[in-house]
Amino acid sequence: MRRHHSLPAAPSQHKPDWRVIRDLIPYLMEFRGRVVLALIFLVGAKLATVAVPVALKLIIDYLDKGGSTEMLVGVPLALVAGYGLLRFCSTFFGELRDAVFARVAERAMRRVSLQVFQHLHKLDLNFHLSRQTGGLSRDIERGTNGISFLLRFCLFNVIPTILEIVMVAVILLVVFDFSYTLTVIVAVAVYIGFSVRVTEWRTRFVRESHAMDNQSNTRAVDSLLNYETVKYFGNEQFEAQSYDRDLAAWESARLKNRLSLAFLNSGQAFIIGVTITVIMFMAVRQVGSGEITLGDLTMINAYMIQLFIPLNMLGFVYREIRQSLVDLERMFALLKQKPAVVDREDARPLQDRGGEIRFEAVSFSYHPKRQILRDISFSLPAGHKLAIVGPSGSGKSTLARLLFRFYDVDSGRILIDGQDIRGLTQQSLREAIGVVPQDTVLFNDTIYNNIAYGHPGALETEVHHAARLAHLDQFIAQLPDGYDTMVGERGLKLSGGEKQRIAIARVLLKNPSILILDEATSSLDSRSEHAILSALNEISQRRTTLAIAHRLSTIQDAETILVLEAGRIVEQGNHQELLQLNGLYARLWRQQQQEQTEQP
Q: Is the pLDDT of residue 71 over 60?
A: no
Sheet arrangement for strand 385-389 = 433-436, 514-518, 544-548, 385-389, 560-565, 568-573
3-class secondary structure for 32-52?
HHHHHHHHHHHHHHHHHHHHH
3-class secondary structure for 442-453?
CCCCEHHHHHHC
> Is the model more confident about 490 or about 589?
589
DSSP assigned state of 9: P
pLDDT category, 230, cuts 50, 70, 90?
confident
Contact 378, 414 (CB under 8 A): no
d(CA 434, CA 80): 77
Q: Beta strand pairing status for 357-367 and 370-380?
A: antiparallel
pLDDT category, 1, cuts 50, 70, 90?
very low
What pLDDT does residue 559 have? 86
DSSP assigned state of 157: I
What mean pLDDT is predicted for residues 24-46?
81
Q: Which phi and psi (to 5°) does residue 433 adopt?
A: -120, 130
C-alpha separations of 189 from 185, 192, 276, 279, 318 in Å: 6, 5, 15, 16, 15
> Is the model more confident about 22 or about 199?
199
What pLDDT does residue 295 have? 83
Q: Which of 363, 369, 371 is nearest to 409 (CA)?
A: 363
Q: Is the pLDDT of residue 19 over 80?
A: no
Contact 330, 139 (CB under 8 A): yes
What mean pLDDT is predicted for residues 198-203?
79
Residues 6+ apart with CB under 8 A from 392: none
What mean pLDDT is predicted for residues 198-209?
78
pLDDT category, 181, cuts 50, 70, 90?
confident
Buried (b) or exposed (e) across 183-194, using 16+ Cβ within 10 A? bbeebbeebbeb
Q: Which CATH architecture has domain 18-335?
A: Up-down Bundle (1.20)
What pLDDT does residue 350 have? 86
Q: Which phi and psi (to 5°) does residue 427 adopt?
A: -60, -50
Q: Is the pLDDT of residue 538 over 70?
A: no
Domain chopping of the chain, boundaries: 18-335, 344-432+551-600
pLDDT tens sequence across 272-306: 888 888 888 888 888 888 888 888 888 888 888 77
What pLDDT does residue 124 have? 62
Q: What is the Cβ-side half-sphere exposure of residue 404, based on CA atoms within 13 angstroms?
A: 19
Sheet arrangement for strand 370-380 = 370-380, 357-367, 411-416, 419-420
On the 0-12 / 13-18 / 19+ scale of CB atoms within 10 A, 508 is buried
pLDDT tens sequence across 76-89: 678 788 888 888 98
What pLDDT does residue 9 have? 41
Most confident of 28-37, 328-337, 457-466: 457-466
What pLDDT does residue 12 have? 43
pLDDT tens sequence across 42-68: 888 888 888 888 888 888 877 777 655
DSSP assigned state of 15: P
DSSP assigned state of 597: H
d(CA 344, CA 349): 11
Residues 6+ apart with CB under 8 A from 150: 21, 24, 321, 324, 325, 328
Q: Which of 558, 554, 587, 595 is nearest to 570 (CA)?
A: 587
What mean pLDDT is predicted for residues 1-5?
44
pLDDT tens sequence across 443-491: 888 888 888 888 888 888 888 888 888 878 888 888 888 888 888 766 6
pLDDT tens sequence across 151-165: 777 766 777 777 878
> Is the model more confident about 373 or about 176?
373
What mean pLDDT is predicted for residues 91-114?
81
Q: Beta strand pairing status for 514-518 and 433-436?
A: parallel
Q: Is the pLDDT of residue 503 over 50?
A: yes
What mean pLDDT is predicted for residues 329-344?
75
pLDDT category, 4, cuts 50, 70, 90?
very low
DSSP assigned state of 152: I
Q: Is the pLDDT of residue 11 over 50?
A: no
DSSP assigned state of 424: B
Q: Is the pLDDT of residue 229 over 50?
A: yes
What mean pLDDT is predicted for residues 527-546?
72
What mean pLDDT is predicted for residues 402-417?
88
What mean pLDDT is predicted for residues 122-151?
65
Q: Which phi and psi (to 5°) does residue 415 adopt?
A: -120, 140
360, containing H or E segment:
strand 357-367
Mean pLDDT of the chain: 79
Residues 6+ apart with CB under 8 A from 440: 491, 496, 499, 500, 502, 503, 523
Among 3.40.50.300, 3.30.2130.10, 1.10.3720.10, 2.60.450.10, name the CATH number for the domain at 344-432+551-600: 3.40.50.300
- Evaluated on CA atoms 365, 368, 371, 373, the torsion sign reads positive
Q: Is the pLDDT of residue 379 over 80?
A: yes
> Is the model more confident about 440 or about 193?
193
Most confident of 101-105, 412-416, 552-556: 412-416
3-class secondary structure for 490-538?
HHCCCCHHHHHHHHHHHHHHHCCCEEEEECCCCCCCHHHHHHHHHHHHH
What pLDDT does residue 468 have? 86
